[in-house]
Amino acid sequence: MKKKKILIFIDWFLPGYKAGGPIQSISNFVNHFGTVFDISIVTSNKDLGATKPYDGIESNVWVVKDNYRVKYLDKKHLNISNYRFLLKEDFYDSVYFNSLFSVYFTLLPLWFAVKYNMRIVLAPRGMLGSGALKIKKRKKQLALWLIKISGVPNKIIWQGTASTEILEIKKYFGEKIQVKMAPNLSAKIPEFLVNKQKEAATLNLFFLSRISEKKNLIGALNYLKEVKKCYQINFSIIGPIGELGYWNECELLINKLPKHITVNYLGAIPNLELPEVLKKQQVLLLPTFNENFGHVILEAFQAGCPVILSNQTPWQDLEKKKIGYDIDLDKPLDFTLAIEFFAKINEEDYQKWSLNAFNFALEFCNNKEIVNANRDLFN
């Protein structure tokens, strides 16, 4: 049987890693379906924030990999004539977009895909969440209005990765549009959990995400500031600096933290190296303003790390499952109390939470219904 051909547009892709979740989403998609579908990926020839192209990779030509092919575009090829060529040079059963507001990897190619009556699947990747829309609010409101009046939303299939995202999509584009539920695919998980050592009254806490307003590192630092002096907190910040001005504000707060809170900025870490780094970490702190999925949250669970999250993610009722806390952003004291709880417990009690987190990830990653839902987006 002939494989269905899928053309994927995404702003950044492997070997890039600084854009985080979307790269992981498509990497996992390729790992699951590279032998099922004939996959072609169009992306930029630089990582997020980089000024130079990837070393050793030719731009503007198809680069053939084991289970897919990819074309890395330079700035000169981000134009109308090239998008027209890309969408007409071959027949594709579906075109898959992984952003809502990207000019060069959604809006321009989407216009041609609609014009050519192609089958289109679009994943907003959390961009319609209330927290995400507050950032650059006016520009996004204008873009949403233009998209809506164009009639495009009624001509495509929307991917909702959680029930909350489906509600967000319908809120802005109407109840009659076609939305399919397909949670993000996960990476492969190791079969066994490596136990972590944990001393009472100490905690290896970490923030794992792009450093930007949306991810709310400033909130995390303010919660740490209120932790009692009897607890030693070693706080590691992992992720690329997405907004330099925001990071400067974070540094001012870091310099004012009390002595029992130590902070170490580890920078951006490639995804393949992350499991080794997380072996030394114990709890994730991510008070994000919005996540439609949050690959870093699942990666924390996979590493046996319970989490302290805002309630603006699909990961809910965590305390009942004994895998973490999901907390209202209007209750900053509750974040501090959650940090103190994990700092206080001894190794034996911590291991119970750690094992629960790992088993939760194991069950999620082996969920065949999620794989089938993603396959059905293109059937």
* pLDDT per residue as tens digits for the range 5-34: 999 999 999 999 888 788 988 998 998 999
pLDDT, average across residues 166-187:
90
pLDDT band of residue 82 (cuts 50, 70, 90) is very high
Cα dihedral 143, 145, 148, 150, rounded to 10, equals: -80
At 210 the three-state DSSP class reads coil
- Rounded to an integer, what distance in angstroms lies between the CA atom of residue 143 and that of residue 155? 17
How high is the pLDDT of residue 262?
A: 97
Structure-token pair, residue 329: 């952003």
* Lowest-pLDDT choice from 22-31, 190-199, 230-239: 190-199
- Where does the chain show beta strands of DSSP type E? 5-9, 38-44, 62-64, 69-73, 94-97, 120-122, 157-160, 178-181, 202-208, 232-238, 261-267, 283-286, 307-310, 324-327
Given a contact cutoff of 8 angstroms between Cβ atoms, the answer to whether 131 and 290 are in contact is yes
Report the pLDDT averaged over residues 233-260: 96
Task: Give the rounded percent of residues in the chain with a pLDDT score beyond 70.
Answer: 99
Least trusted range by pLDDT, from 64-68, 219-223, 272-276: 272-276
pLDDT in tens, 292-313: 788 899 999 999 999 999 999 9
Which DSSP string corresponds to 112-153? HHHHTT--EEE--TTTTSHHHHTTTHHHHHHHHHHHHHHTGG
φ/ψ of residue 51, rounded to 5:
-105, -15
At residue 283 the predicted structure's pLDDT band, cuts being 50, 70 and 90, is very high
Q: What are phi and psi of 284, to 5 degrees?
A: -90, 135
Dihedral sign for Cα 168, 172, 175, 180, please: negative
* pLDDT, mean of residues 317-340: 97
Look at the block and give the residue holding tokens 């192609």. 118
CA 33, CA 377: separation in Å to the nearest integer?
12
Q: What is the layout of strands, in order, in the sheet containing 261-267?
A: 261-267, 232-238, 202-208, 283-286, 307-310, 324-327
Percent pLDDT > 90 in the chain is 74
pLDDT exceeds 90 at position 328: yes
Range with the largest mean pLDDT of 209-213, 232-236, 362-366? 232-236
According to DSSP, residue 270 is labeled: -
Instruction: Give yes or no for residue 337 having a pLDDT over 80.
Output: yes
Compute CA distances 232 → 199, 335, 351, whole Å.
Answer: 10, 16, 19
What pTM value is reported for the model? Answer: 0.77
What pLDDT score was predicted for residue 294?
Answer: 85
